């Protein structure tokens, strides 16, 4: 199950070529003025990415202001603003704009900003590595190199016969890695992509003892001289050095040793402490700020509340507060003025700065509503105080308690909101916490005996280190077992509840728990390459991406605040005119108020009850929790686009091998049609198929091994002119004999006659859901191999459950019709397409889409990638190929079919919560605004005081976040718990 989980290094990296998943962000660059597209592709050069922490954003209007301001700058390719995580990700061209300019621009909009991370990526050249099977001599490498170098856009090619790999430097704007793979296959070799970009890791080191630029430069020069170091950036201010390096060549321990041995050996280096600039640090600081502001506002607001609403009903105290100081100015009015002023202008300063900067950039946000509402109450109250102090007969009412209590309740609401929002990202925090803090590093001699043990920081693990893992400890790094056996609980990564047996040669994943034995692990993927890091990166990326449904809220937010201001002013004017012209009885006016003050309260209530925040939070909070829950269930969802599409799925196209079946085929029968020696037959077919990576080829080779006495230490005869014919079979020259192994159509294509005996064997095997392989030697069919790939546990039940969910299931496979129909009948699938090539799978998906279906494709192989991309939702089996995982929208980590149901059910549940959030947010405004405007007042005398309206506004945002947080308690459908998991044993 976890055999190829380490291949998840591809997840989250930038996709290239035709296999890219649908983009979650706009992909067209915002070219600087004066440059054409053609010129810009040449002149823009390196592209950079910067991620900023942006504190103070409250709604999508805030995000719109920041995005608009950034995009006005020259050289900005894209800006993605994440209100929920207070983060802005900017792609830009450093030759036109720098990080500091972007940061200042965000601050000009009115938000506190800090750079979290940045880096320059040269997109003009990419490096991909391809595994090539079938090479036998240097002439093979020369042929491949010549073919690749002839492609426009390829800059350098290195083909290594020993490692059977090619490293190609190419321009992704001109050529894609798919074309490179196809070119190699066209020359007659089997090619498989290993990685599409240069594998790089990054690390930050803190250096103590450095006091001068000269020392820092000396350290930088010594680090740059190390093999594998790609880039070194230093900051004397923070005593920090950032390094980009190739993990297979060097690592953090090497860097620390080099630094500490530089100069007079007075320098000390360590991993730069986590936190500084991290998401959680900024969120905690924001929580503390709101908490402090709320407490200080209470200090002033509680006395204001008491003097205006409590003490006025206590006769003795009321007399004291009603004592006149100057003319009609009383002690109570003066105290309320003094106490509310700090709340309005010092504690509430954030609303003024936010409003000013939003309006300056041509937009309006929640701060504008709060500033207008509280200022209306405060300014009128100051007017009443001044009139009372200068008049002997003026009897006015102040609303100081309205402005003070409004600000206090809004601050309380924001404090509760950021607390709740923090809980939506708990899934990422839990994933990050899976990595152990320390690891036991072993030093072995040439014979594998332990020479020493050392406990080190797990971040200092380098590739090829040997790590000891004791029972009850977490595996510190991705790798494979070189000694020992145990069971490992991988549920924290894959969601698989049952511990998985591990012995020598088995792969393990960093962050999983060793249960009952001691293991020695050889590290293969460390740092940012690890499966855990890639999963965290994927989930973070998914939570940053907007779901299409969020466009609805973004569109409304553009007009929401201006419309509320207009409606608020209209409410005040309507009630004021109604009072002046006596359109309602004077008895409606409350005691101690006049018609102007009553109208003013209605207008303020409308302004402060309207809440754009609830609308803005409706989608991202639910998507964040939904993707986080999916990750803990072993379902990796790549963003809101995938999540939204999945809930609409009503048709699923399944691949067969490795998807409906286990994907580990075995040869169960062999029929020879001639008198040929069995040993010779086995050697010829094994020598041919050993050059292929296809699962059926591996099954044939493993079968032939059983008849060899030398077991593992064997050498097959040399195969020449090996050619893999995609979807059909292979052919080669072995011992001067032409060997062709494949399906019936391959034989017919080569004009090879199929005997009647072979036809009967084919029909019999297909009836038993077995794949039949014909073997031809010198254009004569000499044998037939029957290969069986057992169904996955629970496949039949999963298809049945999908049927009850009103989802149509279809099987599309490259296998023959007989086997395909037998498998389909066994699992309950009625529609089958067999003998389909990769492009035909994609065409079938498009055909279903044309009929009105929302199609999901579930597959695991390279040949499934075009269909995965073509489908509305591509679901890749987690143990499948890198390229399938890269092309998919959803990755099923446990490689079982239950998670197809879980993914769709989770998507439906998430969108139920999104709809609920929108219903609540819109319904709250639709109902709350008319009530605040006084629609119930004529019939019931009920009115909503502004401070209660403010409290209701704050509560609406919190309620939306809490509604999304209910997704944390998601449980997969109970039907899945009843599935009978049949165990399968493959001999």
In 481-634, where does DSSP find H-type helix? 491-494, 531-544, 550-580, 595-609, 612-632
Give the three-state DSSP class for 416: helix
Question: Most distant CA pair in the chain: distance in Å?
Answer: 127
- The active-site residue, picked from 655, 815, 872, 899, is 655
Q: What residues are paired with 121 via a beta bridge?
A: 47
With beta carbons less than 8 A apart as the criterion, state whether 947 and 684 touch. Answer: no
Beta strands per DSSP E along 188-345: 190-195, 201-208, 229-235, 240-245, 268-271, 324-326, 329-330
With beta carbons less than 8 A apart as the criterion, state whether 336 and 398 touch. Answer: yes
With beta carbons less than 8 A apart as the criterion, state whether 114 and 78 touch. Answer: no
- Quick one: tokens of 566? 């207009």
* 575 class by beta-carbon count within 10 Å (0-12 exposed, 13-18 middle, 19+ buried): buried
In 110-176, where does DSSP find H-type helix? 138-149
* 585 class by beta-carbon count within 10 Å (0-12 exposed, 13-18 middle, 19+ buried): exposed
**Whole-number Å distance between alpha carbons of 695 and 687:** 15
| Neighbouring C-beta atoms of residue 270, cutoff 10 Å | 15
Angle 203-204-205 from CA coordinates, rounded to 5°: 120
With beta carbons less than 8 A apart as the criterion, state whether 604 and 948 touch. Answer: no
Angle 105-108-113 from CA coordinates, rounded to 5°: 70
Q: Taking Cα atoms as reference points, which of 700, 782, 789, 786 lies closest to residue 747?
A: 782
**Whole-number Å distance between alpha carbons of 148 and 154:** 7
Cα–Cα distances in angstroms (integers) from residue 250 to residues 230, 242, 258, 279, 282, in the given order: 11, 15, 11, 29, 33
- List, in order, residues 6 or more apart from 306 with CB less than 8 Å away: none
Give the three-state DSSP class for 621: helix
Give the three-state DSSP class for 539: helix
With beta carbons less than 8 A apart as the criterion, state whether 685 and 736 touch. Answer: no
Give the three-state DSSP class for 78: strand
- Quick one: tokens of 714? 């064997």
To the query of whether residue 655 is one of the catalytic residues in this protein, the response is yes
Q: Which residue has the tokens 């050498």?
A: 715
What is the chain's Cα-based Rg?
34
| 206 Rama class: left (phi>0) / alpha (psi -120 to 50) / beta | beta
With beta carbons less than 8 A apart as the criterion, state whether 845 and 859 touch. Answer: no
**Whole-number Å distance between alpha carbons of 570 and 954:** 23
**Whole-number Å distance between alpha carbons of 97 and 105:** 11
With beta carbons less than 8 A apart as the criterion, state whether 526 and 199 touch. Answer: no
Note the Cα 439 to chain centre separation in Å: 28
Q: Which residues are catalytic?
A: 655
């Amino acid at each position: 199950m976890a055999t190829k989980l380490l291949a998840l290094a591809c997840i989250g990296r930038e996709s290239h070529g035709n296999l890219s998943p649908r983009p979650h962000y706009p992909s067209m660059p915002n070219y600087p003025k004066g440059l054409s597209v053609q010129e810009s592709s040449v002149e823009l050069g390196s592209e950079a990415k910067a991620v900023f922490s942006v504190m103070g954003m409250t709604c999508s209007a805030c995000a719109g202001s920041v995005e608009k301001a950034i995009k006005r700058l020259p050289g900005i390719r894209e800006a993605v603003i994440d209100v929920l995580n207070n983060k802005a990700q900017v792609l830009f061209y450093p030759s036109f704009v720098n990080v500091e300019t972007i940061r200042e621009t965000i601050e000009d909009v009115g938000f506190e900003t800090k750079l979290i991370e940045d880096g320059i990526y040269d997109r003009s050249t990419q490096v991909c590595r391809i595994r090539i099977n079938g090479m036998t001599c240097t002439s093979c490498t020369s042929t491949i190199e010549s073919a690749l170098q002839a492609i426009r856009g390829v800059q350098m090619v290195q083909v290594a016969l020993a490692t059977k790999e090619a490293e190609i430097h190419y321009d992704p704007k001109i050529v894609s890695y798919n074309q490179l793979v196809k070119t190699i296959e066209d020359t007659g070799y089997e090619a498989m992509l290993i990685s599409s970009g240069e594998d790089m890791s990054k690390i930050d080191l803190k250096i103590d003892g450095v006091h001068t630029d000269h020392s820092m430069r000396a350290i930088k020069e010594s680090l740059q001289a190390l093999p594998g170091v790609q880039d070194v950036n230093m900051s004397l201010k923070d005593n920090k050095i950032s390094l980009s390096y190739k993990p297979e060549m060097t690592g953090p321990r090497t860097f620390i040793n080099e630094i500490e041995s530089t100069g007079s050996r007075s320098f000390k280096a360590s991993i730069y402490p986590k936190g500084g600039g991290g998401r959680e640090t900024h969120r905690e600081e924001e929580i503390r700020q709101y908490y402090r502001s709320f407490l200080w506002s209470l200090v002033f607001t509680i006395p204001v509340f008491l003097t205006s609403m409590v003490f006025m009903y206590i006769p003795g105290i009321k007399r004291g507060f009603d004592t006149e100081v100057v003319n009609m100015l009383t002690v109570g009015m003066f105290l309320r003025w003094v106490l509310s002023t700090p709340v309005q202008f010092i504690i509430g300063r954030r609303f003024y700065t936010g409003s000013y900067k939003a309006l300056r950039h041509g937009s309006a946000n929640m701060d504008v509503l709060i500033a207008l509402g509280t200022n209306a109450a405060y300014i009128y109250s100051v007017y009443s105080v001044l009139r009372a102090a200068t008049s002997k007969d003026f009897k006015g009412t102040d609303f100081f308690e309205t402005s003070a209590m409004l600000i206090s309740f809004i601050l309380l609401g924001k404090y509760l909101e950021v607390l709740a929002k923090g809980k939506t990202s708990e899934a990422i925090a839990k994933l990050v916490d899976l990595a152990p803090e320390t690891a036991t590093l072993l030093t072995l001699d040439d014979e594998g005996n332990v020479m020493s043990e050392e406990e080190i920081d797990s971040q200092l693990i380098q590739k090829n280190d040997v790590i000891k893992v004791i029972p009850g400890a977490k595996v510190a790094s991705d790798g494979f077992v070189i000694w020992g056996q145990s069971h490992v609980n991988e549920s924290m990564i894959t969601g698989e509840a049952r511990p998985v047996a591990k012995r020598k040669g088995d792969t393990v994943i960093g962050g999983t728990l060793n249960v009952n034995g001691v293991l020695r692990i050889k590290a293969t993927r460390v740092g940012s390459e690890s499966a855990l890091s890639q999963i965290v990166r994927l989930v973070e990326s998914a939570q940053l991406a907007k779901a299409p449904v969020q466009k609805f809220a973004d569109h409304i937010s553009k007009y929401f605040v201006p419309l509320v201001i207009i409606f608020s002013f209209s409410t005040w004017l309507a009630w004021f005119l109604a009072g002046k012209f006596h359109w309602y009885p004077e008895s409606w006016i409350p005691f101690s108020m006049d018609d102007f003050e009553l109208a003013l309260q209605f207008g303020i209530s409308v302004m402060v009850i309207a809440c754009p925040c609830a609308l803005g939070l409706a989608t991202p909070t639910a998507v964040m929790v939904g993707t986080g829950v999916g990750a803990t269930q072993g379902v990796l969802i790549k963003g809101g686009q995938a999540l939204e599409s999945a809930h609409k799925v009503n048709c699923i196209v399944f691949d067969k091998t490795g998807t409906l079946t286990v994907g580990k085929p075995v040869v169960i029968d062999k029929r020879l049609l001639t008198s040929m020696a069995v040993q010779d037959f086995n050697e010829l077919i094994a020598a041919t198929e050993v050059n292929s990576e296809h699962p059926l080829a591996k099954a044939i080779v493993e079968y032939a091994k059983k008849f060899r006495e030398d077991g593992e230490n064997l050498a097959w005869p040399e195969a020449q002119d090996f050619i893999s014919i995609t979807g059909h079979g292979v052919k080669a020259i072995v011992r001067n004999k032409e060997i062709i192994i494949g399906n019936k159509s391959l034989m017919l294509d080569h004009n090879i006659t199929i005997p009647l005996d072979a036809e009967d064997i084919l029909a019999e095997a297909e009836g038993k859901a077995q794949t039949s392989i014909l073997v031809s030697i010198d254009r004569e069919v000499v044998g037939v191999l029957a290969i069986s790939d057992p169904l996955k546990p629970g496949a039949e039940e999963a298809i049945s459950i999908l049927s009850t969910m009103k989802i149509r299931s279809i099987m599309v496979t490259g296998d023959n019709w007989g086997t395909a129909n037998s498998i389909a009948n066994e699992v309950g699938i009625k529609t089958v397409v067999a003998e389909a090539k990769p492009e035909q799978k994609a065409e079938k998906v498009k055909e279903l889409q044309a009929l009105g279906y929302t199609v999901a494709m579930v597959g695991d192989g390279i040949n499934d990638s075009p269909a995965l991309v073509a489908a509305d939702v591509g679901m890749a089996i987690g143990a499948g190929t890198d390229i399938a995982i890269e092309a998919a929208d959803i990755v099923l980590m446990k490689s079982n079919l239950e998670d197809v149901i879980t993914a769709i059910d989770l998507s439906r549940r998430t969108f139920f919560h999104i709809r609920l959030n929108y219903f609540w947010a819109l319904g709250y405004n639709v109902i709350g605004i008319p009530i605040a405007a006084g629609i119930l007042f004529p019939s019931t005398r009920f009115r909503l005081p502004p401070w209660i309206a403010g409290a209701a506004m704050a509560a609406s945002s919190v309620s939306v976040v809490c509604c999304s947080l209910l997704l944390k308690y998601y449980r997969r459908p109970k039907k899945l718990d009843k599935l009978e998991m049949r165990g399968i044993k493959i001999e």
